[in-house]
Structure 1
Amino acid sequence: MNNDKTISILNDLLNITNDRIAGFAKVAGKAWENYNDLRPAYDDMVAEAWDMKEELIDLIQSKGGNPDDQTSISGAFHRAWIDIKDTFASDKAESTLENVVFGEKAAIDAFQNALNSGELCRESEAVIGKHLQQLSVSYNKFKVLEKIS
């Protein structure tokens, strides 16, 4: 197992987790007036993202790596797209919910790809597998809540 490759993949996931946190900050408060029942699920997703960030940083450091505690370029483009889309959206709250669901699905895909890469050690696979499960549970919950709101 190539430790440098593992660290690189973990840093990519850290960047994606930071994208989630930045995205959550961008949409905070935009949907809660109309969809207050979604707030607890959203708050749980935000807290979970911060926990995942800390676990990824610890894992990278335990592998001898330096955490790349940044956001990604694609995440920055997505947040800019959120701003543009919200400017023209007739229902800004609904647009916000769609953006959250889209971002979470992208995170799930990235974590699944990391697991499928075959480049992670067992310890990393266990942590990333747990994160993927958490992402999937919160995504499914939010997706269901989005449909009924």
Structure 2
Amino acid sequence: MNNENTVSVLNDLLNITNDRIEGFSKVEDKVWDTHSSLKADYDQMVAQSQTMKNDLIQLINGKGGEADNTTSTAGAIHRAWIDVKNSFVADKDESTLENVVFGERAAIDAYQDALDSGDLCPESTRLVSDQLHHLKSSYAKFENLEERN
């Protein structure tokens, strides 16, 4: 197993995790008046993202790599699009929560791609699998927003 490939994949996941954290900061206090029941789940997602970030950095460093503790270009473009879109929509609460769902789905896909790549060592595979489980769990809590209204 090539440590360089493993570190590269883990850094991609770190960028995605940082994208999630940045995206979550855009949700802060925007939807809780109408969706107060989701606040605890949201707070758990934010805390879990910080833990995921720290675990990825620790593993990257342990593999002799240097953590790329930035966000991705795609994530930055998506956040800019959210800002533009939200300036035109009437129901900003629903739009904001739909963006959370979209971001979680994208993160799940990226994590699954990382597992499928074959570039992860067993230790990395265990961590990424565990983090994917958390992503799927948080996604499940938000995916049926339309049914809640």
Please classify the TM superposition score into its range, dividing by the shorter chain length.
Answer: over 0.9
Alpha-carbon distance in 2 for matches of 1:51, 1:147: 30
Q: Which amino acid aligns with 2:56?
A: L
- Higher deviation after alignment, 31-40 or 117-126: 31-40
SS in 1 for 2:139: helix
Runs of 4+ in structure 1 deviating by more than 2 angstroms, as ranges, are 144-147
Structure 1 residue 97: Cα displacement: 0.5
Change (3 A) 1:86 1:128: same
Q: Which residue of 1 aligns with 2:83?
A: 83
Relative to the length of structure 1, the TM-score reads 0.97
Structure 1 residue 139: Cα displacement: 0.4
Change (3 A) 1:136 1:146: farther
Relative to the length of structure 2, the TM-score reads 0.97
Cα RMSD (Å): 0.9
Q: Which residue of 1 aligns with 2:55?
A: 55
Alpha-carbon distance in 2 for matches of 1:28, 1:82: 14
Structure 1 residue 141: Cα displacement: 1.3
Matches within 5 A, 1:1-149: 1-145=1-145, 147-149=147-149
Structure 1 residue 147: Cα displacement: 3.1
Structure 1 residue 80: Cα displacement: 0.3
Alpha-carbon distance in 1 for matches of 2:16, 2:133: 16
Query: 1:8-42: per-residue Cα shift (whole Å, max 9, x none)?
Result: 00000000000000000012111111111111111
SS in 2 for 1:65: coil
Alpha-carbon distance in 1 for matches of 2:48, 2:144: 19
Identity in percent:
58
Could you tell me whether the CA contact under 8 Å between 1:38 and 1:145 is conserved in 2?
Answer: no
Could you tell me whether the CA contact under 8 Å between 1:18 and 1:70 is conserved in 2?
Answer: yes
User: Structure 1 unaligned runs (5+)?
Assistant: none
